[in-house]
Amino acid sequence: MKKSKGFTLIEVLVTLALFAIITTSVAPSVGNFFKRNKVAAIVNNHSAALQLARHTAISQNRFVVICPTNDMATCETDWNLTKMIFIDEDGDDSLGANEEVIGSADMVKGYFIKSTRNLIRFAPVNTAQTVNTTIRICPQEGDSAFARALVLSNVGRVRIVRDPADIDCSA
């Protein structure tokens, strides 16, 4: 009699059941991993934009503004839009014909980004001319599970708030 090689039906069913259990227990944590990393990427992008604006204001001895925009020409109030960074020669907080855009931060879709200010203005004397500003970054409105916040002091220093309990993700 020949000995057959292979798996029995019971062995295949047990293997499939174990695979299904492992997959359903790991899937939510993989989704959370991607959500947490996306928030971290947004925080890093916005922090870099704020640092660029601050250092440009100091090194070039000029006023620099960062604000959300639709068209890289006018400032808006929706912080989910692309952020433009420009040198504000005339101090009117809007991009003029002779003023230069020096950088930008990415537009973000599907995440909730809110700031306590419509724009942020840096002065050449190492200060942010807007009083303390907080930019909240949340996976969605009302969900602070993986939320982070960038807090800009009146001297222009940026710090990250990592405790979701301290971040209000409501509109």
Q: Residue type at 113?
A: I
Q: Would you state the structure tokens that stand for residue 153, as one six-digit string?
A: 């002091």
Q: pLDDT at residue 26 above 90?
A: no
| Closest residue by Cα to residue 167 from 146, 149, 140, 152 | 149
Tens of pLDDT, residues 113-154: 999 999 999 988 866 666 789 999 998 877 888 899 999 988
- Kindly list the structural domains of the chain, giving each domain's residue range(s) and its CATH number in brackets, ordered by start: 31-166 (3.55.40.10)
Tens of pLDDT, residues 50-104: 999 999 999 999 999 999 999 999 999 999 999 999 999 988 889 988 899 999 8
Residue 130 has a pLDDT of 66
Could you tell me which residues are beta bridge partners of residue 136? 114, 149
Q: Residue type at 150?
A: L
Q: What do you get for the CA distance between the two ends of the chain, in Å?
A: 75
Whole-angstrom Cα distance, residue 86 to residue 91? 11
Q: How many CB atoms lie within 10 A of CB 168?
A: 14
